[in-house]
Amino acid sequence: MVGKQRSEEQVPAGLPLTIWILGIVSLLTNSSSVIITALTPLFVTSILGGTSVDIGYIRGFTEALSYIVKLFSGVLSDYIGKRKALVLGGYACAAFTKPLFAVAHDIWVYATAQTLERIANGIRDTPRDALIADCAPKGKKGVCFGIRQSCAGAGSALGAFLCYQIMQMTGSNIRMTYFLATIPIFIAITLLYFGAEEPKNLSRLKDRKKRGFPIRRAELALLGRRYWVFISVVLVFMLVRFSESFLVLKAQTLGLEAKHASLVLLVVYLFNTPAARIVGKMSDKVDRRLFLLFGFSVMLTSCVVLACADSIPITMIGAALYGIHHGATQGTFYAMIADYSPSKLKGTAFGVFNLTCAVGMLISNAVVGHLWHWYAPVVAFLFPSAVVLLAIVGLLFVKNPSAEEEGSEESVL
């Protein structure tokens, strides 16, 4: 106990060591995952014989499945009163799934590998976000989620850069690149196992005995009207959150060589990372809804730029705007979920949020994939831009948590 207190006292800005550990773990695992995303369009269309429709369904279905699993992993973490075990288990499953991408010989094996990887992602993500909310000091939720999000963005940028370097060194050998992508995630698992700690908060365990399992309507009602209005707006916005693979596919249709494909995602995350860090820090002091308005507006601009892009440099501008929108919105979403939810239901609240994202992203990726295949990229990108306008209008109905709601959360530190 004494050792733990000393280690946390050395952490700058009064943030628990666990927050930084989870950030570094996200950096390492994202550097691995982005390699899969960057090479998906080329691997599916050129090697496995798939189409843009296949990409849309694979990415959309597996992302949706991941978010559905996040619902149940969040509820389970509330039920057992433990987060770290689920987080560690999810990362471990993902580590042993990665090599399947390298040996995939047809579209079905690749889809199976993607499915298993996304299930592992779902197991870990909601308990991880709930753990961050548990550890975050009062008034610093935005900072804590901003750190996690910016580290994830930095990891993605690093992964895109490493992907480019490995493809250059291996003569564009995608399978070898996939194998090497497994290394960072094993480092992350070791760091998580030895470095992360849960707050010694027994209230969740006591509450579990009183309320039982699984989810009940009365518990969902405890989340409150403001939470559900916010979730409705999230659903509308997620109808435009298409996979980054379509950014790469767009650049490839304009002549980008396969060995340079990861540079598109490098641009995305070079702009994502500072946006997430800046917004995370400022959103604890400024109305978070303003950052969502900014992020939604940037996404709208990104869709229009990508629809009109007729060269690789213009596509890169659209990718940069996509990265800014993601950095401005994702951490803010998490911080607002933490604001709205009571301590004993944070896992459930994040789980419902992730289920909502699942529905939206499944529809978005499927629609974009079909519009791309049936019509043209310009139509595929204009569809999301129209839906973003509805999400912006929806923000008018989103209310901030009251001071009483924020003050009622249990202190866990």
Residue 220, pLDDT score: 66
Residue 319, pLDDT score: 92
Assess whether the previous peptide bond of 214 is cis (omega < 30° from 0): yes
The secondary structure of 26-40 as a DSSP string is: HHHHHHHHHHHHHHH
Residue 270, pLDDT score: 85
3-state secondary structure (DSSP) of residue 60: helix
Query: What is the tens place of the pLDDT at every residue in 339-372?
Result: 887 777 777 787 788 788 878 888 888 888 888 8
Residue 386, judged by CB atoms within 10 A of its CB (0-12, 13-18, 19+), counts as: exposed
Task: For tokens 């579209």, name the residue.
Answer: 107
Token pair for 6:
């000393």
Written as one letter, the residue type at 83 is R
Measure the CA–CA gap between 106 and 32, rounded to whole angstroms: 22
Residue 9, pLDDT score: 39
Give the chain's end-to-end CA distance (angstroms, integer).
Answer: 13
Q: What is the residue extent of each domain of the chain?
A: 13-209+217-398
Residue 230, pLDDT score: 92
Residue 233, pLDDT score: 92
Residue 322, pLDDT score: 93
Total-model pTM: 0.68
Measure the CA–CA gap between 185 and 176, rounded to whole angstroms: 16
Residue 18, pLDDT score: 87
Measure the CA–CA gap between 246 and 108, rounded to whole angstroms: 20
Alpha helices in 283-311 (DSSP H): 288-308
Say if residues 242 and 365 touch (Cβ distance below 8 Å). yes
Measure the CA–CA gap between 329 and 397, rounded to whole angstroms: 17
Residue 73, pLDDT score: 81
Query: What is the tens place of the pLDDT at every residue in 191-240?
Result: 888 888 877 754 544 454 444 444 566 666 667 788 889 999 999 999 88
Token pair for 404:
């009483």
Measure the CA–CA gap between 212 and 243, rounded to whole angstroms: 37
CATH code for residues 13-209+217-398: 1.20.1250.20
Q: Which residues of the chain, if any, have pLDDT below 70?
A: 1-13, 52, 201-222, 401-413
